[in-house]
Structure 1
Amino acid sequence: MGVPTVTELLLARADDERPGLRFEDETYTWAEHVRASACRATDLRATLDRDKPPHIGILADNVPAFSVLLGACAFAGAVLVGLNPTRRGEALARDIRLADCQFVVTERKYRPLLAGLDLGGISVRDLESWPSADTPLDPVPASADDLLMLIFTSGTSGDPKAVRCTHGKIAFPGAMLAQRFGLSTTDTVYVTMPMFHSNAIMAGWAVGLAAGAGIALRRRFSASGFLPDVRKFGATYASYVGKPLSYVVATPPRPDDADNPLRLVYGNEGASADLAAFENRFGCKVVDAFGSTEGGVGFARTDDTPAGSLGRPAEDVAIVHLHTGRPCPPAAFDADGRLTNAGDAVGELVNTTGAGWFAGYYRDPGADAERLRGGRFHTGDLAYADAAGFCFFAGRLGDWLRVDGENLGTAPIERILLRHPAITDAAVYAVPDPVTGDQVMAAIVLGDTPLDPAGFGRFLAGQPDLGPKQVPRYVRTVRELPRTSTFKVVKRQLSAEGLTGPDVIWERAGRDIAYTTMSTVDNSV
């Protein structure tokens, strides 16, 4: 498959009078979408200062004008900068300045977020509704390597970085997934993840565009609105990132849940139990992949992929030791399924042939150099592989715990915690050991099923694959985990709060797996 551009994908729809974009009670054909983008592109070419980076910030929900402006940037040779409306104050101003936006277009409801900020003279404009002027198609020639978007990372470990997303980085996965899943003009792609993030653009919007399918936009994700929208729009495909899938599963079940047109849901970071529950309840296939805004590595999942596995890595992907850079040996397990050689088997996922689809960060050469070292693309993700070559996620590099001289990943512990039916969400992170290294701490969200410290201890004692050093020293019960607007857990916040958070904390004393309440703080206010 050649590498298309977004411009080419849009031009292929220029005469398509089938529904291309649906939003609430509005419907636009693909031909109308292309003409609207051409109209906006004419305005951009007349407005942008070509002596400066042609970057336009957008502060908006998933509304039709967002899609039109992205198409306009493709036609005008401009770059759309997706801004996160949950960022505030100087943090938001910092993102706008970093991205060299010439101006920011915003929904009126978000304009107050920009009032009084030091934007360095950058002007703010209201995001206009659907343009009606008919403009001849005269797009700026584009190549797959031309920049089209800046998409910020979630910022779970620091300030968000602006990832350079080229035409090819957006169009190629769209075309690949449309072909892989057999999507066509008879399908409807449901986009509910935020369009300022990579999942909605690359696994949603671009897929619908490449297939010539209809795209149904949801302003913002809603668990209760998911199934009604699927039925209303006739959605056959949807994308997700992990936690929203569990939110949908947590909605009250109905006997007719499987009576819907959905065939396939595609995304990443879904918990195994949620994937199975979603498939069974809604009667569709769920394909969970591994992905990041940066890209760079890929996996193949087959019918024999074990539960919880990322799949087998592509030929150019390896797990390498953090210190030696050499390939890690396969994971070894004891009779109870405990990983016995974590120090050797757990390593960093890298692309051994270079950057893959990673086109660098904008104005951050230090971060580029950190990602691209020794001719390899370093993901910052930890993993291990079994003897059959199936990979398992072990956490982020920043999640690495050092307990009694042993390195531990957080993801395997989180997977074990989520086995308990009372635990609906979990995050494992480090708190300082009073002598040296780390102690394991977990934050858990409890559902409707009761769970007390003694019951939690009995549960952990019954998990044969939980190693003695993986057992949390402290457990914090919380109403919800702190998350970014793209549903990533902000572990640095939990780690910084340590034992001071306004919640119930259980403590394990000694080596026995037995917990008592360490402190109780009224968190009802």
Structure 2
Amino acid sequence: MDIMGDRTLPALLKEKVDIHPEKLFIAFEDVEGNQTTKAYREFYEEVLKLGNALLDLNIKPGDHVTLHLPNNIEFLTTWFALAHIGAIMVPTNILSSADEMHYVINHSESVLLITEEEHVEKFLQMTGELPTIQHIILTRFKNQSTTLLNYDHLIAKASTDSSRFPEVRAQDVVGMLYTSGTTSKPKGVQVTNANYIFTGELMSKCIVATEDDRMFIVLPLFHGNAQYYSSMPALVVGGSIALTEKFSASRYFKQAKSLGATVGSLFAAPIRMILAKDYDANDKDNPIRLVLFAQSIAEHQIQEFEEKFDLKLLQLYGMTETVGIPLINPLNGIRKNLSIGRPSIGYEVKLIDENGDEVPNGAVGQIAVKGVPGRTIMKQYFKNEEATRQTLQNGWLLTGDNARIGEDGYFYFVDRVKDMIKRSGENVAAQEVESVLTQHLAVYETAVIGVPDDMRDEAIKAFVILNKGMRVTQEELIQFCKVRLAKFKVPDSIEFVEEFPRTPVGKIQKHILRNSYSIK
């Protein structure tokens, strides 16, 4: 038996409730600064009530339920309520456009949508195009509606009796996280009970978490980061969660102090945003001992952040598909935060060439992670056997990211095999942006790349060839994209060109575009 055994999320939560019934589990601050707390028992009872309410709505084991929510307590409650009845959470980005949500809901065949009044209009405009959706529930909803269900009303009428809950198993899928790929359509990553428990066990041991720790979640809960690296280790050790509705660079440490947070998790871009704000010396007096981060930042920024706020930074590497973090810097060893660390507990990591052969130390190769599908790595992609076969090969998960191993044994990130852009912590598939741009009548062909950006990791730059005789401005094309793409996917700049550098078979050579941009 491995470390997960046959445990499930419902069993793990019940265990912690039995041990810490009155202990604070969640401290939440909304966008207006109002704070709400939930003890373990209080949270658990609401989970049971929501589980019963969902059963009353005929939600069955294996059903997909789309969560289109900002960070709030209801998000966490719904996640665990669905796990209790064997249903599957499909968390989505509230910035996603109607077109993007149309695809996710229909691809996932979701039977229920849970969102908020602020975001519901884009769904109401296409209800006839979402044939599987049976109900829409609104959280934090203060008005009356004849067609939409009120989360609070459902909870108020429901029972805490769990006797009619179905049996759930460790290998059951409980989450499906859509992640952008090199194609224009995102893929649904299936995550099991065992997956979530594994990453909680792994992370808690890597950061030496205890029941006195309070994980600080400011990144969106729909991301694997907040679920894998913060929520799960808190629950595994019987700790607690400090949750904010939105990230605020100027208030990050003030919120941490107010909510009692001890361990944070950020991307490189938010760290740079915090450093760009006027420094308040009072922020050095904060309870945070450690901030996990992903994506590279400059050495001087690492040093400045640690000194100004009296904490440790710890760079790691993971992705939605790996579930846990296969690479991380050692907390109690030599932290080389310009690297992505060394292999962590429960994983084997190697670098391979195009033929699948391991490359020697110092050479660049694709990161491959050895794991067990549905336990230490994702189970599979939903309704996408070909993508699953390409990613999971002979017990190894191929990440699509290139790295090299230094003489010190640490892994150093090089670039992405996949044509991806990392903008402020969000993955953007270049082809997705290209497919939208080419929908414009004036556009003949386009190539989209990521270019270095001091604040957002990468900015999105599009090169466009126009149809003969057609004219359009950069501003008009950007506005065209704003209507069809989430805000973080919209190009920052557009350059009109006459031709693209190409291979002999006509493929656009994006590396030449990147090089030409970097020397300007």
TM-score by length of 2: 0.73
1:310 equivalent in structure 2: 340
Q: What are the Cα deviations for residues 444-491 of structure 1, in whole angstroms up to 9, with x where unaligned?
A: 4468xxxxxxxxxxxxxxxxxxxxxxxxxxxxxxxxxx99xxx9986x
Q: What are the Cα deviations for residues 259-297 of structure 1, in whole angstroms up to 9, with x where unaligned?
A: 011111123224143433221111111211101011077
Q: Post-superposition shift, 1:307?
A: 4.4
One of 7, 19, 24 as aligned partner of 1:19: 24
Distance 1:184 1:222 in 2: 27
1:304 corresponds to which letter in structure 2?
A: I
TM-score by length of 1: 0.72
1:474 equivalent in structure 2: none
Q: What are the Cα deviations for residues 279-318 of structure 1, in whole angstroms up to 9, with x where unaligned?
A: 1111111211101011077125343354421223466211
8 A Cα contact 1:240 1:266, kept in partner: yes
One of 327, 350, 362 as aligned partner of 2:382: 362
Distance 1:269 1:166 in 2: 26
Distance 1:442 1:366, change over 3 A: closer
Structure 2: tracts of 5 or more residues without a match: 30-34, 140-150, 432-446, 456-480, 498-511
Higher relative contact order (CA 8 A, sep 6+): 2
CA RMSD of superposed structures (Å): 3.5
2:364 equivalent in structure 1: 346
Secondary structure (helix, strand or coil) at the match of 1:151 reads strand
Q: Post-superposition shift, 1:14?
A: 2.5
2:137 equivalent in structure 1: 125
Identity of aligned pairs, percent? 23
8 A Cα contact 1:14 1:35, kept in partner: no
1:109 equivalent in structure 2: 118
2:39 corresponds to which letter in structure 1?
A: T
Q: What are the Cα deviations for residues 119-141 of structure 1, in whole angstroms up to 9, with x where unaligned?
A: 12513222324935551344543
Q: Post-superposition shift, 1:192?
A: 1.0
8 A Cα contact 1:63 1:218, kept in partner: yes
1:330 equivalent in structure 2: 361
1:443 equivalent in structure 2: 451
8 A Cα contact 1:272 1:307, kept in partner: no
Q: What are the Cα deviations for residues 13-32 of structure 1, in whole angstroms up to 9, with x where unaligned?
A: 33410111121221111100
One of 284, 309, 317 as aligned partner of 1:290: 317
Q: What are the Cα deviations for residues 226-277 of structure 1, in whole angstroms up to 9, with x where unaligned?
A: 1111011111112223322222222211222210111111232241434332
2:417 corresponds to which letter in structure 1?
A: L
8 A Cα contact 2:254 2:283, kept in partner: no
One of 31, 35, 49 as aligned partner of 1:39: 49
Distance 1:141 1:512 in 2: 58
User: 2:39 aligned with 1:29, yes or no?
Assistant: yes
One of 74, 83, 86 as aligned partner of 1:74: 83
Structure 1: tracts of 5 or more residues without a match: 332-344, 401-409, 415-426, 431-438, 448-481, 501-507, 517-525
Q: Post-superposition shift, 1:168?
A: 1.6
Distance 1:440 1:54 in 2: 37
Distance 1:366 1:78 in 2: 25
2:507 equivalent in structure 1: none
User: 2:101 aligned with 1:98, yes or no?
Assistant: no
Secondary structure (helix, strand or coil) at the match of 1:109 reads coil
1:275 equivalent in structure 2: 302
Distance 1:346 1:488 in 2: 33
Distance 1:262 1:46, change over 3 A: same
Q: Post-superposition shift, 1:45?
A: 2.2
Secondary structure (helix, strand or coil) at the match of 1:360 reads coil
Number of residue equivalences:
421
8 A Cα contact 2:316 2:340, kept in partner: yes
